[in-house]
Amino acid sequence: MPPVLQLVVPCYNEADRLDPEPFLLAVRADSGLGIVFVDDGSTDATATILAGLSAKSEGRISLLRLDHNAGKAAAVRSGVLEALNRDPAYVGFWDADLSTPLTALPEFMEVFAQRPDVDIVIGARVKLLGRDIRRRLIRHYSGRIFATAASFALGIGVYDTQCGAKIFRATGPVRSAFDRPFRSRWIFDVEILSRYVAACGTTVAESRIYELPLRSWKDVPGSKLKLRHAVRAAWDLARITRR
């Protein structure tokens, strides 16, 4: 019986940051969870670590290796298409550094259980009292500016498009959002939402997308995102807005 949720984890040169143990604990604790790691052409020991992790998982963790570094957008799309071929009820993607801990997964799935109309649950890094959100101020404020621009581009109000924790119900509109390669390497999350809005219409999409405030999130050192990527992201967002 295939897992109910197939979770895609893109990796590029993550040997120094990847902690295998939480992933093993997650699949052992939840029989409905499968994990697809996508090695995006890593040149360090990432592939070796992932192969060892897969070997210990009793078939619950698999590895998809890309021949060259294609970028996070292509890695996520390749992994999601591979996962959808296994016909899960849900598919998602998660950052390899576990800035959002895997212990948050049950909360995501609870939203789907309580809200059968919801197709997409995305994590939102909202710093509320009683929640442990550790994010550098510069990234927080730049993120607020970007989220405002993304909301304008999408035509719907979204607090946090770029959090690397998202889960989707495997419906037709969701599948169609991954049909074509993404134009952007860094803000493909906005493209996914844009394609979903285009498929369903603004009013329906707003009722089927749910933002879940995270209980915990930490800014893990070693991010691949640089200033030049932020500049390119602004250009990509402008293109999405025009479309």
**Extended strands (E) in the chain:** 5-11, 33-40, 61-66, 90-94, 120-124, 132-134, 165-169, 209-213, 216-218
The closest of 121, 116, 70, 123 to 95, measured between CA atoms, is: 123
CA distance 48 to 194: 36
Q: List the pLDDT tens digit at each of the 243 positions of the chain.
A: 668 999 999 999 999 999 999 999 999 999 999 999 999 999 999 999 999 999 999 999 999 999 999 999 999 999 999 999 999 999 999 999 999 999 999 999 999 999 999 999 999 999 899 999 998 877 777 777 887 888 888 889 999 999 999 999 999 999 999 999 998 887 899 999 999 999 999 999 999 999 999 999 998 876 655 545 555 665 566 566 655
pTM of the model: 0.91
**Extended strands (E) in 117-198:** 120-124, 132-134, 165-169
**pLDDT for position 137:** 77
**pLDDT for position 13:** 96
**pLDDT for position 234:** 59
**pLDDT for position 3:** 80
Phi-psi region of 167 (alpha: psi -120 to 50; beta: other; left: phi over 0): beta
**pLDDT for position 163:** 93
Asked if residues 74 and 40 have their Cβ atoms less than 8 Å apart, the reply is yes
**pLDDT for position 220:** 85
Strand bridging mode 61-66 / 132-134: unpaired
Domain boundaries defined on the chain: 1-98, 101-243
Give the number of C-alpha atoms closer than 13 A to the C-alpha of residue 199, restricted to the C-beta side: 17
**pLDDT for position 129:** 92
Give the SS3 label for residue 200.
helix
Instruction: Evaluate whether the domain defined by 1-98 bears CATH number 3.90.550.10.
Output: yes
